[in-house]
Amino acid sequence: MQGFYSFIIFLWALSIGTTTVLQAQKKGKKDAVNDQEDRFKAESHLTEGMKFYILDNYSNALVNFKKALALQPESPGIHYQMAETYIKLKNYDDALDHAEKALALDAENKHCYVLLARLYEKQGKFDKAAEVYERLLETTLTGINPYYYELALIYQYQLKDYKQALKTFEKIEQTFGMSEEVIQQKQQIYIQQGKLELAIQEGTRLTDTDPKNPKYALALAELFIANSQTDQAVVLLEKIARDNPEEYAAHAQANMLLADIYKSQGQGQKAATRIDEMVNDPKVDADAKVKVLIGLMAEANTEALKEEAYQLATQIVDQHPNHVQATAALADILLAQHQLKEARVYYEKALVLDNAQFELWYQVLQIDTQLGEADAMIKHAEEALELFPNQAILWLYSGTGYFEKRDYNTAFEVFELGQSYAISNEMLYNEFSVRLADCYNGLGQFEKADALYGEVLEKDPENEHALNNYTYYLALRGEKLKLAEKQAQKLTTLHPDNPIYWDTYAWVLDKQGDYREAKKLIEKALKSPHGNQGSILEHYGDVLFRLGQKEEAVIQWRKAKDAGEVSELIDKKIAEKKLYEQ
């Protein structure tokens, strides 16, 4: 880097020297001596400025460059470097002024053109940038080839001047020959103009130049498909599948595109045949098969397609049992079908193959949570923490496992440690605070619990976890019931579709003796899609018992037991047909 800047200084010094010599020819001996002194001083200021520039101290660099410019105002090199420095200082107006002067003083330097054009681009003056590139390309300077493409892209994307863009791309082809990149850009323009036939002609030109390259043919086939010319696409894809048996990826992609076409035409058997041919070909690698599988999963919006995706995933995993993505994809399918335990088995298999994929650990822990398996949650969270100790969410899962086992002391320690990794994430930090408050409740330290819930709600008044848990525990303790009622009402207003929150609200009213209103709220909870939960049904039975409907209460307790997630007293309630409370 130091050598590079020394070379730049040398060039600028040369530029200054040239200017000085020309001026000296027109002056006397004394003036020439003065000019020589100015030249040496300017070089000194340049050198000092570059030292600051290299150290990213642009303000001090600029001070020295200004001193150099005052001595040599006609130096294009100094103007150029001042423009670069102003760019670093984000002063684009002054940068533009010096870049314009640099080019005016040295129209034979391609770097001056490029600097000025890019400054115009930065200020959104794309028409002026195009003019500068046009001027550059009219020169005989060497090394300007890449700027044809810069000019074409400005016309295409910034000025939307498709005629000029096409003209420039044509010039690129005439000068440098046909290229895949240029043809693809021309195709984009033709598509934007609605000139599909011209876009297809460009694709055909590309395939004609290299007919053995299936990549070009596939791109043309996809263009046909995108523009509903499926008959032409089928002919081309059949040829690719037939003529490229050794190009396994192309062969697989052609078959998959054909399968998509046949599906859209209602020819399910033909589509299945194509997929089977590709999947059962031992020469096709697992990556290509998984790509097909992922595409099928994305469009699986019917039971038939979901079953097809499952069968395909099972087939690929049987063929490639050590392929992580295939195994994880099968787990994803099972999870989408709510087969939680089966999905977890395959996520765990995927982790055996590659335990560095955080997303897989996360999915396993989500399943542990849904299944309510605290021991599994602790085990998986602690295994993951060995690999990702800074991931706060893993500490949250681990602590939750201990909390569910009522090991409140250990849970508290885990949550407290995990919170230290969540300082930069306010939402997650607050979640840890709520969990710590839950632990205080479990430990009987109610004042600390209430204070911590209050802190969270002061920062985030609509925090649903804090609102629900604080309200629930106040109801459980029979304390501050008016505050609990106010919070429960707010919670159900914010989240009217959550049956748990209606149940919490009902429990608060229950504790205040308003059993009839509590019954209405629980019945509202039970009518929601996910309302038939064991805890809600059990509470419903409790309220019915208090209202004197004892036989109906027992019926609801039995339903609650079948649903799961009930209190330890449920069997005693059912057997003795009496209400017992914890």
Q: Is 296 exposed, middle or buried (0-12, 13-18, 19+ CB in 10 A)?
A: buried
For residues 207 and 243, what is the distance between their CA atoms, to the nearest angstrom? 14
pLDDT of residue 7: 40
Look at residue 561 and tell me if it is in a domain. yes
Tell me the backbone φ, ψ of residue 433, rounded to 5 degrees.
Answer: -60, -40
CA distance 248 to 482: 70
Residues 328, 346: contact at Cβ < 8 Å? yes
Structural domains in the chain (count)? 1
Question: Confidence band (pLDDT; 50, 70, 90) for 267?
Answer: confident
Q: Count CB atoms within 10 A of the CB of residue 572.
A: 14
Residues 300, 334: Cα–Cα separation, whole Å: 13
- Does 91 reside within a domain? no
Q: How far apart are CA 397 and CA 417, in angstroms?
A: 12
Res 420: pLDDT: 96
> What pLDDT does 244 receive?
64
Beta carbons of 455 and 433 less than 8 angstroms apart? yes
Q: Residue 191 corresponds to which tokens in the numbers above? A: 């598509």
Provide the pLDDT for residue 246: 64
Residues constituting the chain: 582
Question: Does residue 489 belong to any structural domain of this protein?
Answer: no
Contact 182, 172 (CB under 8 A): yes
Residue 9's pLDDT is 43
The answer on pLDDT for 281 being more than 70 is yes
pLDDT higher at 247 or 494: 494
- 5 pLDDT band, cuts 50/70/90, is very low
pLDDT at residue 146 in the model: 86
Binned at pLDDT 50, 70 and 90, residue 23 comes out as very low
What is the domain range of residue 550?
Answer: 532-582
Say whether pLDDT at 431 is over 90: yes
Is residue 183 within 8 Å of 206, Cβ to Cβ? yes
Phi-psi region of 210 (alpha: psi -120 to 50; beta: other; left: phi over 0): beta
pLDDT at 217: 86
527: DSSP letter? T
pLDDT tens digits along 400-418: 999 999 999 999 999 999 9
**Ordered DSSP codes for 77-106:** HHHHHHHHHHHHTT-HHHHHHHHHHHHHH-
Mean pLDDT of 179-183: 90
**What's the rounded Cα separation, in Å, for the pair 105 and 18?**
12
Average pLDDT of the residues of the chain: 89
pLDDT value at residue 24: 42
User: How many C-beta atoms surround the C-beta of residue 581 within 10 A?
Assistant: 8
Distance CA 8, CA 16 (A): 12
Long-range contacts for 467-472 (Cβ within 8 Å, ≥24 apart)?
A: 467/491, 467/494, 468/500, 468/501, 468/504, 469/434, 469/437, 469/438, 470/437, 471/504, 471/505, 471/508, 472/504, 472/507
Is residue 552 a part of any domain in this protein? yes
Identify the pLDDT of residue 18: 41
| b/e code 170-202 from CB counts within 10 Å (16+ = b) | eebeeeeeeeeebbebbbbbbbeeeebebbbeb
Q: Write the CB contacts of 137 (distance below 8 Å, at least 6 apart in sequence).
A: 144, 147, 148, 151
Task: Reply yes or no on whether the pLDDT at 465 is more than 90.
Answer: yes
Q: Kindly state whether residue 548 falls inside one of the protein's structural domains.
A: yes
Confidence of residue 480 (pLDDT cuts 50, 70, 90): very high
pTM (two decimals): 0.64
Interval 50-70: pLDDT, tens:
999 999 999 999 999 999 999
Backbone conformation region of residue 243, classed left if phi is above 0, alpha if psi is from -120 to 50, else beta: alpha
For residues 125 and 127, give the distance between their C-alpha atoms in angstroms, rounded to a whole number: 6
Q: What is d(CA 247, CA 254) in angstroms, rounded to the nearest whole number?
A: 11
Position with higher pLDDT, 277 vs 31: 277
Indicate whether 290 pLDDT > 70: yes
Average pLDDT over residues 171-189: 90
8 A C-beta contact, residue 130 and residue 147:
no
pLDDT over 80 (residue 380): yes
pLDDT band at 34 (very low <50, low <70, confident <90, very high): low
Encode 481-515 in three state secondary structure.
Answer: HHHHHHHHHHHHHHCCCCHHHHHHHHHHHHHCCCH
For residue 186, pLDDT over 70 is answered with yes
124 by Cβ neighbours in 10 Å (0-12 / 13-18 / 19+) ranks as exposed
Indicate the range of 30-34, 108-112, 218-222, 527-531 predicted with least confidence: 30-34
**pLDDT of res. 25:** 45
Other CB atoms within a 10 A radius of the CB of residue 333 amount to 25
Question: For residue 22, what pLDDT is reported?
Answer: 40
DSSP structure string for 256-323: HHHHHHHHHTT-HHHHHHHHHHHHT-TTS-HHHHHHHHHHHHHT--SHHHHHHHHHHHHHHHHH-TT-
| Any domain includes 538 | yes
- Write down the pLDDT at residue 248: 62
**458 CA to centre of own chain:** 32
Predicted local confidence at residue 565, as pLDDT: 84
Q: What is the pLDDT of residues 296-343, one digit of tens each?
A: 788 777 888 788 889 989 999 999 999 999 999 999 999 999 999 999
Task: Tell whether 55 is covered by a domain.
Answer: no
pLDDT exceeds cutoff 60 at 440: yes
Mean pLDDT over 135-164 rounds to 91
Give the pLDDT score at 11: 43
Using DSSP, state whether 458 is helix, strand or coil: helix
Task: Flag whether 77 is in a domain.
Answer: no
Q: Which two tokens stand for residue 394?
A: 């893993």
